[in-house]
Structure 1
Amino acid sequence: MTDKLNQIGLDKNDSSNLAHKLNELLANYQFFYMNARGFHWNIKGEKFFELHIKFEELYNDSLVKIDEIAERILTLGFTPLHTYEDYTALSKIKAAKNVSGGNEAIRKILDGYEVLLPLERELLEMSGESNDEGTNALMSDYIREQEKLIWMYSAYLNE
């Protein structure tokens, strides 16, 4: 029985499936981070100061999440992806190039959440079924934070 469990007492097959889905989330977060960083650098216009700070908060938060996701994959006994070749192959979020307008950047952020949130909900369900409280708690926190951000960014766009 114990040969079916990993070092933290979770089913190895379930952990493998979770690690694969976490790597997909990691790849998408890498592009989300890169986009937010680019928006921070390139933003122009009357809302420059406000958005410059918001995008910095966003990419700093994304960087923390990237590290947490990679460490969770390692905790499950697997290897996090770590090349842009892998990220490019897996990510549904694509690079946003030369975006300097506030509304366009915010729209791209919301588009990113349209990819991240369903992945996190899928991981929440998978981790719940696997009794993986560590992954479950991470996803629950991410979802709660992002639902609020989606509301706020949508309000900014008057949507």
Structure 2
Amino acid sequence: MNAKEISLEENKIKPIVDMLNDYLANYQIHYQKLRGCHWNVKGQNFFTLHIKFEELYTNAQVTIDEIAERVLTLGKPPHSTFSDYIAEASIKESQTIGMKDMDMVDVLLDDMANLIELERDLLEKTAKVGDDGTNDMVNRFMQFKEKNTWMLRSFAGKK
């Protein structure tokens, strides 16, 4: 399949595919960080955060699959190696072993802010080229993160 088969101009969609691969790389690093937080959370907030982190990484896993499938729908291969993810992602790995529970929340809030920034950029660019499919998908992912950002900030007592 290529972009033309779904009525999109390939020369206009290539930058979108590149952005989606960058988005995918960032999501993969975020996903692994969520897994690390889930596995390594300790302290008085264990039960609450262990469940919340599992919810977030389960959602991230589905999101990653949808991003990769969208790249394929647009006619290109998605990145699929950790070396690509680490090289391309603006989100950096974190050592979650020994990290305090509320520090985990802060690190994940930073990740979500970075992802939301990427999403807003994608929304702007996809709207300009008429890629409503990618736009709708990214908007849905952003709304989930916006809500969970609010929830985690409320949990942490942040404004």
The TM-score range, normalised by the shorter chain, is: over 0.9
List gaps (5 residues or longer) in structure 1.
none
Q: Deviations over 1:32-51 (max 9, x none)?
A: 00000000000000111111
For residues 57-136 of structure 1, the aligned pairs below 5 Å read: 57-97=55-95, 98-136=97-135
Shift of 1:22: 0.3
- Quote the Cα distance in structure 2 between the aligned partners of 1:47 and 1:118: 29
Shift of 1:15: 1.3
- Quote the Cα distance in structure 1 between the aligned partners of 2:110 and 2:77: 28
Shift of 1:94: 1.1
Corresponding pairs, count: 155
1:151 aligns with 2:156: no
Seq. identity, %: 42
Given the two structures, how large is their TM-score scaled by the length of structure 2? 0.94
1:24 aligns with 2:28: no
Contact 1:39 1:99 in 2 (8 A): no
- Quote the Cα distance in structure 2 between the aligned partners of 1:30 and 1:43: 20
List gaps (5 residues or longer) in structure 2.
none
Please give the secondary structure, in 2, of the residue aligned with 1:28. Answer: helix
Q: What is the root-mean-square deviation in Å for CA atoms of aligned residues?
A: 1.0
Given the two structures, how large is their TM-score scaled by the length of structure 1? 0.94
Shift of 1:87: 0.4
